[in-house]
Amino acid sequence: MEWVALFLFLAVIVLLLAGFPVAFSLGGTALIFAMAGVIGGGFESAFLSGLPSRIFGIMTNETLIAVPLFVFMGITLERARIAEDLLDTLSALFGSLRGGLGISVTLVGMLLAASTGIVGATVVTMGLLSLPTMLKRGYSPEVATGTICASGTLGQIIPPSIILVMLGDVMSSAYQSAQLALGNFSPQTVSVGDLFAGALVPGLLLVLLYIAYLVCLAVLKPNLMPPHPTSDDKVSARRIFKALAPPLILIFGVLGSILGGITTPTEAAGVGAMGAMLIALQRRGLSMQRLREIMSGTLRISSMVFMILIGASVFSLVFRGYGGDDGVRSILSSLPGGVAGAVVVVMLVMFLLGFVLDFIEITFVVVPIVAPALLMMGLDPVWLGIMIAVNLQTSFLTPPFGFALFYLRGVAPAEVTTGHIYRGVIPFVVIQIVALGILALFPALATWLPDYLSG
């Protein structure tokens, strides 16, 4: 009955493209297929008896508690307007250099990614703050929009990223399933902390590649990125410390405690949420009205994530009930090129799906289907998880459907056209593909730090 599982997957994709709510499309379509299968005799109703235990497992999963806490941390820092202070300070520091403002935007995007982990919020914030300034200082619209989109999507890969929290939980389940299928009844585990550690070096590599591109562009085409004299805007060490210290302390506190084995990601997320509140109190004050807005935003995003997760659990249960996992495994194992061919095909499919599906949907729907089959081929779960994260980040940037492009288009001034944004991100898409190639050739970039920290 594997063909029924394929039709189930295609039906869900069609409904999502039609704009139906994600959670109800996943769960509702799966239940309809299950009911039809029970009536037709092609689906065992016993599979549905496992649904309550799955939902209870989601409710009691301590790792997933980190999602609302990290969302709260990101929204709080966004409302504290920490990006404004960072951008003003770094622009004054590097603005006199040719291409300095572009480098400042990239560094601010990196710091925001490590502080908030929310891609849409970072792109919108950077678009509102830095795009008018870059255009006013003579930057090419293509360079300005490309830099903002690329730096804004770093929240996908630089920890503490929300996608890495969800991806870590999914990869952990997939890795254990793969080991059990291979006959290992005392399976090893892969944690969210492992993915955080594995993403650190590739994330910094991407930042360095972005900056290297901007420096080369400033040298080869100086008219696209003119310098801006800042003699009237002196940058003191006290000003730099005041702007950089709070977010850096928060980042090191959250990541350092996780990588050092002091706290779990969930506990560190609690520390980050409290630290974000203290920063907001110190920077802008935290009135009851503002706190209510932060909590409302956190509730809205967290509810969306968990509703999608419940719908995805129903979907994966019915998909497996029809033998879809066996079908996917047989397809991947029969592809030419062996393991490498299977990885290339899966990455290409995820890249294309990233045009039309959000990373949450891909993480909860597609990854549980393909990851166990790939992990049974002997791939490292941390490396595979980071490859997926970088790949999704690339699809978020790629014209014509990249989500980051739509985020920026919504806040860009009228003189910036969609063509400017499309042309501006193409060099960064090439950089992303180069980074994926480097990561594929040198898996140790993703696995070295987790292995070192685990001893």
**pLDDT tens for residues 395-405?**
888 887 777 88
Say if residues 83 and 128 touch (Cβ distance below 8 Å): no
Chain centroid to CA 285: how far? 30
How far apart CA 159 and CA 365 sit, in angstroms, is 22
CB atoms within 10 A of CB 49: 10
How far apart CA 272 and CA 302 sit, in angstroms, is 16
Closest CA to 389 of 149, 256, 202: 202
| Sequence ranges of the domains in the chain | 46-320+381-453
Q: Which amino acid is at 167?
A: L
How far apart CA 80 and CA 78 sit, in angstroms, is 5
How far apart CA 157 and CA 153 sit, in angstroms, is 8
Record the tokens describing residue 44, joined without a space.
């065992």
Cα dist from 285 to 75, 79, 166, 359, whole Å: 15, 10, 32, 33
Say if residues 140 and 334 touch (Cβ distance below 8 Å): no
455 residues of the chain, pLDDT tens digit each: 678 888 888 888 888 778 788 788 888 998 999 999 888 888 888 888 888 888 888 888 888 888 888 888 888 877 777 777 787 788 777 767 777 888 888 888 888 877 666 666 678 778 887 888 888 888 899 999 999 999 888 888 888 888 888 888 889 888 988 888 888 777 778 888 899 999 999 999 999 999 999 999 988 988 888 876 654 556 777 878 888 888 888 888 888 888 888 888 889 889 888 988 888 888 767 788 888 988 998 898 888 888 888 888 888 888 888 888 778 878 887 888 888 889 999 999 888 888 767 777 788 888 888 888 899 888 999 999 999 999 988 988 888 777 788 888 888 888 888 889 999 999 999 999 999 999 999 999 999 999 888 87
Say if residues 272 and 257 touch (Cβ distance below 8 Å): no
Instruction: Annotate 183-248 with DSSP letters as a single string.
Output: T-SS-----HHHHHHHHHHHHHHHHHHHHHHHHHHHHH-GGGS-----TTS---HHHHHHHHHHHH
Cis amide bond preceding 160, omega within 30: yes
Predicted pLDDT of residue 228? 67
Predicted pLDDT of residue 93? 76
Say if residues 363 and 167 touch (Cβ distance below 8 Å): yes
Q: Is the pTM of this model over 0.85?
A: no
Chain centroid to CA 72: how far? 16
How far apart CA 310 and CA 299 sit, in angstroms, is 16
Predicted pLDDT of residue 95? 66
Half-sphere exposure of 98 (CA within 13 A, CB side): 13
Q: Which amino acid is at 277?
A: M
Say if residues 336 and 18 touch (Cβ distance below 8 Å): no
Say if residues 210 and 125 touch (Cβ distance below 8 Å): no
pLDDT in tens, 85-142: 787 788 777 767 777 888 888 888 888 877 666 666 678 778 887 888 888 888 899 9
Closest CA to 194 of 379, 422, 373, 384: 384
Q: Which amino acid is at 353?
A: L
